[in-house]
Amino acid sequence: MKKIIVSGGLGFIGSNLIDLLIKKNYFVINIDKVTYSSNFYNTKEYNKLKNYKFIKCDIKENKIKKILFRYRPVGIFNLAAETHVDRSIDNPNNFIQSNIVGVYNLLEYFKEYSKKYKSKLIHISTDEVYGDVLSGRSSENYPYQPSSPYAASKAASDHLVSSYIRTYKIPAIITNCSNNYGPKQHPEKLIPKLIYNILNNKPLPLYGKGINSREWIYVQDHCEALLKVFLKGKIGEFYNIGSNKNLKNLEVSKELINASKKIIKLGKKVKIQFVKDRPGHDLRYALNSNKIKHKLGWYPKTNFRQGIKLTFDWYNKNKNYYKSLSRKDIVKRLGKGWLKKE
């Protein structure tokens, strides 16, 4: 059975990727340093499986080398990262340490490992590295113009990986994906935050006037794309992964309200509430994903209306997911000026 390492596998995208890899009969080694956004609830169904192994480990640790040479994975999906923009505004250092220093450490050990064993590193990044895309869509050769400390840290990690590919000939590929949504996402992010508030009869906070536009992709579609890149992608290439479907945050909220009221009775306090915007908030992200479609044959399967229904339904049936988190991490506003105190 072929072995694959998923770093950050207790998180949102990582745990959904593990779902897919286990179904595809890979032996998955999940390494995670276990932070506030890591959640054992996300992988609880795999603990007794023979093809799943969890190891507590920070990618900044030397322990990474021992894991690589012991398990000899044919692939590594690097999803170990700090990802919330608001948190990066409050404390950029955590993002520098995890997203840059951590990736550097992983690259150093993977460089050594890949000289002896055939393997492939898939470095997962974000559309936020491109910054505001006010018109059109950013292709893989679009210039990096990150706006937040988070986006800058991811841009730096992308450049590090790219430099190791060129200088040291490591077998790696970089992907940049649009906004993900779906089951198992920490409620610091927009959609699970809104769902939490709907389920608890609270107002739905939106930055500014809710006009910021994002390209939304269902997490399982993203994971299918990552596997396609691993199996068929060309070493040294960048691949954008998106749905080609943009929605403003206000539109997202209205779609979510419509989906949820078909499943539950909405409380009287479930209303859109505009709150103070965060500093440096990009207006629009939009990817051109033609490359992965034409070169690798990947296409997203889930439209937003289907995906948002599936997402709400999961959280509604898995209320213990929220109970497994710190309430402070759910309700506290970060990035200066969040919600008014209740």
Catalytic residues: 127-128, 150
**Cα–Cα dist 202/232, whole Å:** 45
**Cα–Cα dist 322/115, whole Å:** 43
HEC letters along 84-131: CHHHHHHCHHHHHHHHHHHHHHHHHHHHHHHHHCCCCEEEEEEHHHHC
CB 51 within 8 A of CB 30: no
Let me know the angle formed at the C-alpha of 141 by 138 and 147, rounded to the nearest 5 degrees.
Answer: 60
Structural tokens at position 73? 């994975």
CB neighbour list of residue 150: distance below 8 Å, 6 or more residues apart: 82, 83, 84, 85, 87, 88, 95, 99, 128
Burial grade of 138 (CB within 10 A; 0-12, 13-18, 19 or more): buried
Amino acid at position 181, single letter: Y
DSSP state of 284: B
